Each structure stands twice: as C-alpha cells, then as structure tokens.
Amino acid sequence: MQATQLDQEIEARLRAADLTYDHVGRTSGELPSGYHHLKRQKVIGHGAARFSDAALAVLSWQIQLRSGIRVSSSSPTVLPGTVAMLGIGAGPLRLRAPCRVVYIIDEPNRQGFAYGTLPGHPESGEEAFVVERAGNDSVSLNITCFARPVLSLARVAGPFGRFAQSRVTDRYFRSLAGSTEHHR
C-alpha cells in the first residue's frame, strides 16, 4: 500500500498555505495550553530489526494507510516540508485533512515525524509519530497530539470527536503492531 501522488495544483496550494496554529514543534516538548492533548506509548516489539521495520513503516505513511486513511502526498516518504491530504471516511462522506510535515526525527534509536494542520483541516494542531528503541531493546511507538476543533462539524462533535480520535490512535497502534509481528 502506497500514498498516492498529490495533484500538482493542490500541492502548490498547500505549500503556499500557513499552518493553522502557532506552536510549531511543540509535540516534541511541553504541549501548549488551550488544546486537547493526547500522549500514548505502546511497546510494539523488540530488537534492531523491529525498530528498523517500524521506523520505515512510519516514514512511508504506512501507519495512516494501514489504519484506513487515504494519503495523497507530495512525496512517497516523509520528508521535511512534505504536504499531504489525508482522507477519512468513504465517498462523499470523506473528511479531508490537509497537513505539512513540520519536523523529522532521525536519530540512531528514534525515528519519526510530526505534521501540522493547514487550512481546511477540521482541527488546528500537530501530531507526532515516533518509534523509539530503548536500552532494554524494547521498541515503542509514541503518538503525541495537541489539537482543537476548527470546523463547525468538529466543534459540534465535542466528546465524540475526542472518542473518534482515540479510536483512530488505537488503529494506528494496531496497524503498526500487526505489520511486523514476526519480529517479536
């Protein structure tokens, strides 16, 4: 499963757009006030091969794709400044969520990225996906997010919207954990 190539006109529009929030990069530190926060971590295996496979999956949009989210991106792999249109739902009920990669983590035992929201996204904020290999050789996926609703639909959703976000996060963990189960 691969991300599709983003239409050139849409890519140009997303590249020219400003992020819809002021706290760029804050998923890597203290989360800003005024947003709903989500921080979850789960051990997904052990060893160098598991770390490598999981990092490759995260950096090639597989965590989103395997979770049922459509990804149209300016790059098949996650790079600084990559723009993407994420799609959740089906047919005319598909919710489109434009975003831009705001940072990459490329360390020997930590790999991942964060994207920030662009105009048209139902929320305003940032989400990070980081695979980490600890000293005991365990490999974990860390998902950190701060967001608040922008669109009326997202505001009306209230607690249901947070529940839906939690379910999508569960799917992220399942999609990555199930992808390389043989490395345990």
Q: 4-26+34-183 architecture in CATH?
A: 2-Layer Sandwich (3.30)
pLDDT of residue 177: 73
pLDDT of residue 48: 96
DSSP 105-160: EEETTEEEEEEEE-TT-SEEEEEEEEEEE-TTSEEEEEEEEEEEE-SHHHHHHHHH
Partners of residue 104 on adjacent β-strands: 113
pLDDT along the chain (184 residues), means of 10: 93 97 95 94 95 96 92 96 88 82 98 97 94 96 93 52 62 70 36
Distance CA 103, CA 105 (A): 7
pLDDT of residue 155: 47
User: Which two three-digit tokens encode residue 74?
Assistant: 């300016």
C-beta neighbour count of 128 within 10 angstroms: 22
pTM of the model: 0.88
Distance CA 73, CA 184 (A): 31
Distance CA 7, CA 119 (A): 17
pLDDT of residue 164: 55
DSSP 8-class letter at 18: P
pLDDT of residue 170: 80
Does residue 168 sit in helix, strand or coil? helix
Distance CA 119, CA 97 (A): 9
pLDDT of residue 160: 47
